[in-house]
Structure 1
């Protein structure tokens, strides 16, 4: 992505001939990186979270709150993964303006990333449950 965006800057400002494909590809790569890296952050438990209240709670309420957090996150990721294929199906009939690809390809990053996040949330919850029982 930095190479593509760098090329776009050089083409636009130094060569005076902006490249439409570089702008689009940079945007598509940003969405794909955001979705896939979000899954990695969830797996490493490095995603954005406000833990002030959670850390102040004793054992059982803390566990209940983390269950609630995971349930809400799983619901949102599940909904995105479930409804995400709709834009992918629509994108099959549309072509990119700057590149010779169907719009279904860039749209695919959203449901795939959400499904991956949901899977990691479930596996992480199972792993934490086994650790708590041990």
Structure 2
């Protein structure tokens, strides 16, 4: 997705400033690919414990409380991701009747679908991190 965003950004710069013929579709495709990139990257961040952690509290807590804290964080994260998936799916269905400006042949459904897809995959990352915790960023933090 980053390669697509960079290439489409370069196309936009070339078309606008070199050829003086701006293209609407390249800017929109950059935005959509960045949204998809973020929502497909969130599951990996959750899996490695890089999201929504309370580092200082986790470091200072006794080991038994650390596991309890991880459980609370997992439940809250799953709740938040469930809300994003639920309302993201609703939003995608409502956007199915709209077309993407600059890409008139594509429905906004495909752009909005990033929310529920990313949230559902992130749920697997949260469960995976709870079952097999990884806190590599905690050990390297100053």
State the TM-score bracket (shorter-chain normalisation): 0.7 to 0.9
Task: Mark the runs of 5 or more structure 2 residues left unpaired by the alignment.
Answer: 134-142
CA drift of 1:120 comes to: 1.8
SS in 1 for 2:101: coil
Larger displacement relative to structure 2 (57-66 or 104-113) = 57-66
Residue in 2 that maps onto 1:40: 44
**Is the contact between residue 49 and residue 129 of structure 2 (CA under 8 Å) also seen in structure 1?**
no
Residue in 2 that maps onto 1:67: 71
CA drift of 1:113 comes to: 0.2
Q: TM-score, normalised by structure 2?
A: 0.82
CA drift of 1:53 comes to: 2.0
SS in 1 for 2:128: helix
2:79 is the alignment partner of 1:106 = no
Q: TM-score, normalised by structure 1?
A: 0.87
- Superposed CA deviations along residues 50-71 of structure 1, whole A, max 9, x for unmatched, are 4122101111121111111111
2:124 is the alignment partner of 1:119 = yes
Greater share of strand: 2
Alignment length (residue pairs): 128
Residue in 2 that maps onto 1:6: 10
* Cα RMSD for the two superposed structures: 1.5
**Is the contact between residue 52 and residue 77 of structure 2 (CA under 8 Å) also seen in structure 1?**
no
SS in 2 for 1:18: coil
**Is the contact between residue 35 and residue 114 of structure 2 (CA under 8 Å) also seen in structure 1?**
yes
1:93 to 86, 94, 97: 97
